[in-house]
């Protein structure tokens, strides 16, 4: 059966503000002291009144701009009514018909290397609910520390066509948000959560497309979970269609949960419609009007976004899409470190090899951030400049690199590098007379007669052991230059 998978994502992102969206209560992850970060507004106590957090509003606008959205000059707050233990007021302050940001897009690159533009319907600001804890038994617990946390809900168009594309979209979105420094996007702490809306368009032999009922899978808290849920739902829905033939509109939209351990979704309830929430403007909060001048001020704080920086690095330093993506994905600090190394050594590819392999390996093994890495970017760049200039081999540079990692951070300087190179004799011998003397010693050694004969007989791979022995007589030399000179000498003998 032929079909197309139709996926749209709703992503909830907690903003990095000091206080909550409508109160002065502290906003931070704190699982060790449940219900300690509450106040009268968070608890919905009689007489408490909300006051908008201006910083949360600014960060939400920043997100909308980065997603190429239209920013509303006039917006308001609405009450979304529902009763649940994690919502003490019995309503959530959100935005309904006048969202802060709308009609945007985010470009992704799929596995085939094709650029796909994913539409953004809206990105609006709202307060988070608390957290219900179901730990077995007949009782549940409620932690209201998270209640009132500022959220941006980013709703995509149903433009995604596979589980892999859904994961790629989330990875690109997370990268963008972390570059903007609006959220830490820590999924383990609930800073980024995702709901998946998915159905299929079944293609019939007579050219028609039959949409299956839409399903929303709630509260997925990992990219792999999103990918698995999309894959599972695609399979489940096609099997269900083959059994029932149900189409979009035959049954209400269904909400399902996700069981990560079993890798299956399970039904929760029929999906509520907007009318079920009885939205109306919040009477305690004034609408917000913004000026063009203020929007310009926010736009100036965006900086270079990751997609643009990835393209620039590729163009400026002749990097592959893969290398540029690896660097950018590590975050702004690593990208800054890379650029300094590349500018210092003058070779973007050499710098990329070292940063994406040697530096990242050490960061992972030592569990360090790039700010804690003991080798400054300029010191590594000057070391690599020796390699680029042909003064050292990569092997020699790695020996220096390893030695530097063993030193106290305040001793890792250019002067220290020079001392290590001198002490270890790592500079390449460029004096052809010295090279020829070493070659003479090797060619005169009877134990190498067979290898020499093999090379003269056309087996150039036999020159390898000879090169190794020449290198042993020299403190340092370019193996390529030694190989060339050896072949000349043996061929002319």
| In a domain? residue 13 | yes
Q: Is residue 2 part of a domain?
A: no
Kindly state whether residues 176 and 35 are assigned to the same domain.
yes
pLDDT of residue 433: 67
Which of 379, 403, 424 terminates a domain? The answer is 424
Taking 90 as the threshold, does the pLDDT of residue 137 lie above it?
no
pLDDT of residue 462: 73
| Shared-domain flag, residues 92 and 47 | yes
Grade residue 446 by pLDDT with cuts at 50, 70 and 90. Answer: confident
Q: Is residue 209 helix, strand or coil?
A: strand
* Residue 301 resides in a domain: no
- Asked if residue 98 and residue 29 are part of one domain, the reply reads yes
Which range has the worst mean pLDDT, 39-48, 64-73, 417-426, 446-455?
A: 446-455
Contact 477, 469 (CB under 8 A): no
Q: How far is CA 314 from CA 132, 169, 343, in A?
A: 46, 21, 14
Q: How confident is the model at residue 432 (pLDDT cuts 50, 70, 90)?
A: low
pLDDT at 289 over 80: yes
Do 390 and 260 have their domain in common? no
Count the domains in the chain: 3
The answer on pLDDT for 37 being more than 60 is: yes
Residue 65 forms part of a structural domain: yes
Give the least confident one: 220-224, 287-291, 434-438: 434-438
95 and 173 part of one domain? yes
The model's confidence at residue 492, banded by pLDDT at 50, 70 and 90, is very low
Rounded distance, CA 234 to CA 232, Å? 5
Retrieve residue 8's tokens: 């749209």
**Alpha-carbon gap, residue 229 to 216, rounded angstroms:** 10
Count of CB atoms situated within 10 Å of the CB of 357: 11
Given 399, 424, 449, the domain boundary residue is 424
User: Same domain for 42 and 86?
Assistant: yes
Range of the domain at 81: 9-195+255-295
Which domain-ending residue is among 370, 402, 424?
424
Residue 485 belongs to a domain: yes
- Higher-confidence residue: 441 or 311? 311
Binned at pLDDT 50, 70 and 90, residue 427 comes out as confident
254 Cβ partners below 8 Å, 6+ apart?
Answer: 213, 214, 215, 216, 267, 268, 269, 270, 271
Q: Are residues 474 and 408 in the same domain?
A: no
| 272 and 375 housed in the same domain | no
Tell me what pLDDT residue 480 has: 72
Specify whether 338 is located in the same domain as 395. Answer: yes
What are the residues whose beta carbons fall under 8 Å from the beta carbon of 100, sequence distance 6 or more? 57, 60, 61, 64, 71, 72, 75, 123, 124, 125
Whether 271 and 336 map to the same domain: the answer is no
Whether 218 is in a domain gets the answer no
- Note whether residue 17 is domain-resident: yes
Judge if 345 and 475 occupy the same domain. Answer: no
Query: Both 158 and 284 in a single domain?
Result: yes
Any idea what DSSP says for residue 300?
T
């Amino acid at each position: 059966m032929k079909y197309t998978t139709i996926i749209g994502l709703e992503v909830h992102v907690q903003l990095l503000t000091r206080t909550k969206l409508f109160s002065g209560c502290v906003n931070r992850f704190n699982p060790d002291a449940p219900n300690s970060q509450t106040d009268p507004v968070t608890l919905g106590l009689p007489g408490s009144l909300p006051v908008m957090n201006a910083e949360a509003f600014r960060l939400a606008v920043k997100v909308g701009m980065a997603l190429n959205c239209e920013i509303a000059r006039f917006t308001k707050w609405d009450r979304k009514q529902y009763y649940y233990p994690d919502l003490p007021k019995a309503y959530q302050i959100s935005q309904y018909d006048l969202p802060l940001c709308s009609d945007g897009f985010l470009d992704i690159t799929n596995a085939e290397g094709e650029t796909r533009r994913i539409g953004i319907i809206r990105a609006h600001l709202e307060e988070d609910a608390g957290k219900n804890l179901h730990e077995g038994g007949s009782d549940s617990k409620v932690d209201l520390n998270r209640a009132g946390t500022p959220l941006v809900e980013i709703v995509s168009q149903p433009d995604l066509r596979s589980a892999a594309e859904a994961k790629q979209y989330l990875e690109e979105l997370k990268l963008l948000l972390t570059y903007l420094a609006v959220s830490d996007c820590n999924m383990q702490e609930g800073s980024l959560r995702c709901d998946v809306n998915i159905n299929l368009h079944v293609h019939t032999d007579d050219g028609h497309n039959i949409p299956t009922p839409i399903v929303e899978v709630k509260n997925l808290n990992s990219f792999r979970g999103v990918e698995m849920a999309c894959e599972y739902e695609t399979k489940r829905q096609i099997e269900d269609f083959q059994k029932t033939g149900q189409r979009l509109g035959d049954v209400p939209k269904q909400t399902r949960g996700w069981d990560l351990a079993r890798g299956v979704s399970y039904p929760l309830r029929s999906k509520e419609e907007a009318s079920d929430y009885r939205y109306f403007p919040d009477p305690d909060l004034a609408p917000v009007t913004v000026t063009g001048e203020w929007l310009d001020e926010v736009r100036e704080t965006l900086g270079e976004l990751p997609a643009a920086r990835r393209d620039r690095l590729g163009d400026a330093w002749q990097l592959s899409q893969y290398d540029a993506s690896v660097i950018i994905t590590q975050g702004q600090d690593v990208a800054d470190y890379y650029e300094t190394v590349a500018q210092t050594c003058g070779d973007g590819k050499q710098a990329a090899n070292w940063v994406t392999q040697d530096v990242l390996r050490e960061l992972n093994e030592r569990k360090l951030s790039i700010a804690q890495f003991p080798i400054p970017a300029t010191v590594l760049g000057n070391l690599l400049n020796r390699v680029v200039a042909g003064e050292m081999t990569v092997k020699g540079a790695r020996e220096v690199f390893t030695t530097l990692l063993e030193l106290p951070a305040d001793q890792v300087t250019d002067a220290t590098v020079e001392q290590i190179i001198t002490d270890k004799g790592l500079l390449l011998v460029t004096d052809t007379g010295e090279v020829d003397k070493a070659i003479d010693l090797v060619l005169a050694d009877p134990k190498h007669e067979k290898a020499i004969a093999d090379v003269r007989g056309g087996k150039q791979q036999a020159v390898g052991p000879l090169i190794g022995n020449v290198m042993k007589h020299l403190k340092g030399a370019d193996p390529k230059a030694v190989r060339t000179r050896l072949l000349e000498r043996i061929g002319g003998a």
